[in-house]
Chains A and B, each alone.
Chain A
Amino acid sequence: MANTSQFCTFYLDKLLFGVELKGVQEVIRSLDMTKVPLAPGVVSGLINLRGQIVTAVDLRRRLELEPRTAGMLAMNVVVRSDDGAVSLLVDEIGDVVEVAEDTFEPPPETLRGSVRTIILGVHKLNDRLMHVLDIEKACQMTDVAETAAAGR
Chain B
Amino acid sequence: MDAVLRALALYLILLVLLRLTGKRSLSQVTTFDFVILLIVGEAAQQALLGEDFSLTQAALVIATLLLLDRASDYLAWRFGWFQRWTQSVPAILVEDGRPLPDVLAKFHLTEDDVVTAGREAHGVERLDQVKWAVLESSGGISVVPHGDSSSGG
A binds B: no
Tell me the A residues contacting B by CB distance below 8 Å: none
